Amino acid sequence: MKNEVKAQAKNARKVAGTRTPAASAAQGEIELVLTAIRRVIRATDLHSRYITKTAGLTSSQLILLKVVKGRGAATVGELAGVISLSQATVTTILDRLEQGGLVLRARSELDRRKVVVTLTPAGLEVIERSPEPLQETFIRQFSALKDWERSMIIASLQRVATMMDAEGIDASPLLDIGSLDRPG
């Protein structure tokens, strides 16, 4: 008799389209996780658009300009190493920045085999009037966390990437959307 009542209750929930409390809780957690992921994607998208609108650059281009400013002068290989992009990608980004008059590339006086990238006055002006990249805000706040908090975030995000079959996707540690070398 007791099993019969349970079966009827289960069938009633199915007919009514409700879930068991455990299933509802799991669904709620899933929705929270997916919403959080979507918010991160949207925040990156919105901030990238804001930078493009206000500075006329992609986030990647702005970050590269800031690295050139910080270094004074650097080779393409050095820049690629600092921002964890391939030399080919950095070269493509630099092509766009050079076309816009924001950087100069010239042969090194010390070693003619090397090409050195420097910032132009126009490049410096763009940096000064540009908003802070989302990446810099994140780095500052992430660095302020305790060691155990940073470790938990890293482990959780790596697990999420695995769950989304994204662990094999080549990605640089830049918060930007779309192609890193798209026109600014």
pLDDT at 156 over 80: yes
For the stretch 86-112, pLDDT in tens is 889 999 999 999 999 999 998 878 777
* Burial group, residue 79, by CB count within 10 angstroms (0-12, 13-18, 19+): buried
Pick the CATH number of 20-163 from 3.30.300.30, 1.10.10.10, 3.30.420.40, 3.30.565.10: 1.10.10.10
51: DSSP letter: H
The residues spanned by each domain of the chain are 20-163
Of 135, 143, 162, the residue nearest 60 (C-alpha)? 135
For the stretch 64-87, pLDDT in tens is 999 999 998 899 999 988 888 888
